Structure 1
Amino acid sequence: MTTTPETLKPLLWEPKNLVRAIEAAGVTLWSWNVSTDAFAMDDHSYELWGVPKGKDVTFEDLSAHIHPADRDRVRAAFTATRSIIGAYEIDFRIMIGDELKWISARGQGDDVGMIKGIMFGIFIDVTGRKQAEEGRELLAGEMSHRVKNLLAIASGLTAITSRSTTTVEDMARELTLRLTALGRAHDLVRPVPGQTEAPSALLGDLLTVLLAPYDDLGAFSGRIRVSVPRMSVGEGATTVVALIVHELATNSLKYGALSVDTGTLDVSCSAQNEAVTIVWTENGGPKVVHPQSKSGYGSKLVERSVTGHLRGSIDYNWAQDGLVVTLVVDPERLAS
């Protein structure tokens, strides 16, 4: 028999084939008896929720899988769906063992389509979309923080330059040099595509480049000292180290040793097989006051960078004569 558009038309409209389109889209189906609280789901819904197939479930059974932070909100939202005019959509998290998923539940409110007290709707796994949204929010937050830091750094560098110059021409020249050095250092913070496993810099050279914009070029030159053994920093770790140093230097420029003429900064390092220890020591600055408020965005960014990529730890010693920051990192991660 010859296949023609007319002979394919019944196949095109066959209900079981339309269901295949639902499956291809990752849509799972449910119905809910609002009086008895009983839920009926298709096989894919059972898989999505991590519930054994064929088991009788209720809304309360499913609620046990909902993330505790979302549970009350979802219960209230489902209870309110009958009074909602039009379509509704509820996004929430569920826990399957240690795995977290985002689910979107969708249906019609105001009892539209309800049959003998039974409502109908769909579940969709939206984990990928939510993770992408969180990634974009995190990136936007980091970019905003970095821009604010750069403005603060530019202001601080202008103040430093004004202390070490006597003429407008000298100040313009030295400030230009500082901002140029800042641009070179800031390039190290940008993510680099196609990262390799080969080392891309020596730690001492990297720290010197990063801290050069903050050192005085005139009467107070040489107040930043870097003393580290010869060791390589991988291309991936270079970005992380640059971010950490920029954050610490910015804070020092605002509140610490680099904010005054008499302040000094020493960065030293010791390396053993198990760990690389980098010590950031400030002296001669304003009296150090332990912050009373919770860590700001920048501090959280530094901590996440150290504990995450470098698999290490960071410790702050708020000594009155100067802040001491100790970073202990995994040497393998530093070289990657």
Structure 2
Amino acid sequence: MLAARTPDMHDWRPDQLRHAIRAAGVALWSWNVDTDAFAMDELGFELWDLPASDQVTFGELSARIHSADRDRVQSAFSATRAILGPYETDFRIIVGDTVRWVAARGQGEDVGIVGRTMYGIFLDVTGRKQAEEGHELLAGEMSHRVKNLLAIASGLTAISSRSAGSVEDLARELTGRLSALGRAHDLVRPLPNGQGNAALLGDLLAVLLAPYDGLGAFKGRIRVAVERMGVGESTATGLALVIHELATNSMKYGALSAPVGTLDLSSIADGEDLVFTWLEHGGPKVLDPVGRAGFGSKLVQRSVTGQLGGTIQYDWAESGLVVTLRIDRGRLGS
């Protein structure tokens, strides 16, 4: 029995090659180095969202290239004859209201030139570029979160060391606080689509504030009394930033910095809004800060107005700080 011969590409018919090229999403182009005439196949015109024609000018293509990439692309094409071997240039084009990433590939330094015409391909690499951008954003977010967690861990270590009577006490207190932070991180992380809300409001607040609660004889100086309702992943993240910043400031300057200071966090319904009251007692005398707002204050303001779509007010009363946070109930589930 004779084995089947593997077909050689030289045996392929032109229509077979066209089907293979189109299936791969490869758009063909040619460029006359003398006349600067540029031509593309049907897929090329579809990629660039141009009406099909026998010829297209480089100027017509340039008009669709992203302004930040245009000069670079023009220089790259002009320099192809000086490039030895294969080359590839990635750039963005604007098609309507969308941005596409295109990879132009060819052979430089007159290699494969036929009749003063160079040949190459265009590939739509939008999916790959979006994935790369997503990975970069994720890496940046992870780096930011790790730095924040290290900073929090450092602060908690210092706080625990001041109250611990022994190395064993320090280890126990620090482990407990770091574990609470870990639980908060798990609680506010985005959930897969279709799995409902990220957390119950009371659980979220309790877990976020647990690392700042006192230990020993006065444990329980933070009290949370809020409506039972679900909190969506977006709101949970924004609320976590706000609560963490308020608690950190209280631990540095407010009621939680004093051995007998207390914090009450409650909520009431007011029409379509849910109003939170952050009430501190028993700490040092507080003063209305003057001057330029720090990064933490700006972060809180952006989180409240942006992610939560609400408002925040501060009352620097002599008895302790009072913060009023108002959020549209409809936003809490998002």
Same fold (TM over 0.5): yes
Which residue does 1:43 correspond to in 2? 42
* Match of residue 215, structure 2, among 190, 214, 217: 217
Q: How far off is 1:267 after superposition?
A: 5.1
Range with greater deviation from structure 2 (319-328 or 53-62): 319-328
Scaled by the length of structure 1, the TM-score of the pair is: 0.76
SS in 2 for 1:40: strand
CA contact (8 A) 1:94 1:103 kept: yes
Residue number in structure 2 paired with 1:175: 174
Q: Which residue in the other structure is 2:251 paired with?
A: 258
Match of 1:207 in 2: 205
CA distance in 2, matches of 1:86, 1:10: 23
Q: Match of 1:133?
A: 132
Cα offsets for 1:290-330 (capped at 9, x unmatched) = 4578999xx59x85x985xx6x4377879999897957456
Distance 1:325 1:23, change over 3 A: farther
Residues 1:196 and 1:292: Cα distance change in structure 2 (over 3 Å): closer
CA separation in 1, counterparts of 2:134 and 2:326? 26
Equivalent residue of 1:259, what SS? Answer: helix
Structure 2 unaligned blocks of 5 or more: none
Partners of 1:60 and 1:278 in 2: CA distance: 59
Q: Which amino acid aligns with 2:250?
A: A
* Distance (whole Å) between structure 2 residues aligned to residue 108 and residue 245 of structure 1: 54
Write the distance in 2 (CA, Å) between the matches of 1:292 and 1:245. 19
Aligned residues: 319
Q: Determine helix, strand or coil for the equivalent of 2:69.
A: helix
Separation in structure 1 between the aligned mates of residue 13 and residue 120 of structure 2, nearest angstrom = 21
Distance 1:276 1:204 in 2: 13
Q: Report the secondary structure of 1:88's partner residue.
A: strand
Q: Which amino acid aligns with 1:75?
A: Q
Deviation at 1:140, TM superposition (A): 1.4
Identity %: 54
- 2:237 corresponds to 1:243: yes
Kept in 1: contact 2:277–2:322 (CA 8 A): no
- Residue 69 (structure 1) aligns with: 68
Task: Report the residue type matching 1:228 in the other structure.
Answer: V
Q: Deviations over 1:188-236 (max 9, x none)?
A: 1444446423x56421221111221122325775665545333222xxx
Find the aligned partners of 2:33 and 2:324 in 1 and give their Cα distance: 59
- Segments of 5+ residues of structure 1 without an aligned counterpart are none
Q: Which amino acid aligns with 1:68?
A: S
Hey, what does 2:332 align to over in structure 1?
334
Residue type of the alignment partner of 1:259: K
Looking at structure 1, the residues matched to 144 and 59 of structure 2 have their Cα atoms a distance apart, in angstroms, of 43
Q: Which amino acid aligns with 1:91?
A: D
Deviation of the 1:99 alpha carbon: 1.2
**Distance in 1 between residues matched to 2:105 and 2:324, nearest whole Å:** 50
Paired residue secondary structure (1:105): strand
Q: Distance in 2 between matches of 1:290 and 1:33?
A: 61
Matched, 1:21 2:20: yes
- Partner Cα distance (2:273, 2:89) in 1: 47
Query: What is the CA deviation profile of residues 11-48 of structure 1, one whole-angstrom value per residue up to 9, with x for unaligned ones?
Result: 95212211211111100011122343322111111111
Cα deviation, residue 185, structure 1: 1.5
Q: Provide TM-score, normalisation by structure 2.
A: 0.77
Which structure: larger Rg?
2
Counterpart AA for 1:57? V
Measured in 2, the distance between the counterparts of 1:281 and 1:289 equals 24
| In structure 2, C-alpha distance between the alignment counterparts of 1:325 and 1:134, rounded to whole Å | 38
Q: Given the superposition, is the C-alpha separation of residues 289 and 144 from structure 1 closer, same or farther in structure 2, using an over 3 Å criterion?
A: farther
One-letter amino acid of the structure 1 residue matched with residue 202 of structure 2: G
The residue aligned with 2:309 is: 313
Q: Answer whether contact 2:200 2:228 (CA < 8 A) is retained.
A: yes
* Cα distance, 1:257 vs structure 2: 3.0
CA contact (8 A) 1:156 1:259 kept: no
Give the Cα separation in 2 of the matches to 1:86 and 1:11.
Answer: 23
Give a deviation string over 1:154-183, Cα, whole Å, max 9, x none.
111122223333333333322222122222
Output the aligned Cα RMSD.
Answer: 4.0
What is the CA-CA distance between 1:10 and the residue it aligns to?
9.9
Q: Distance in 1 between matches of 2:204 and 2:137?
A: 26
- Which amino acid in the other structure matches residue 85 of structure 1? L
Distance 2:294 2:35 in 1: 52
Is the contact made by 1:102 and 1:127 (CA closer than 8 Å) also made in structure 2?
yes
Query: For the residues of structure 1 that align with 2:297 and 2:76, how far apart are their CA atoms?
Result: 34
Answer yes or no: is the 8 Å Cα contact 2:112–2:118 preserved in 1. Answer: yes
Q: Give me the whole-angstrom Cα distance separating, in 2, the residues matched to 1:106 and 1:229.
A: 60
Partner of 1:92: 91
Give the equivalent residue in structure 2 for 1:150.
149
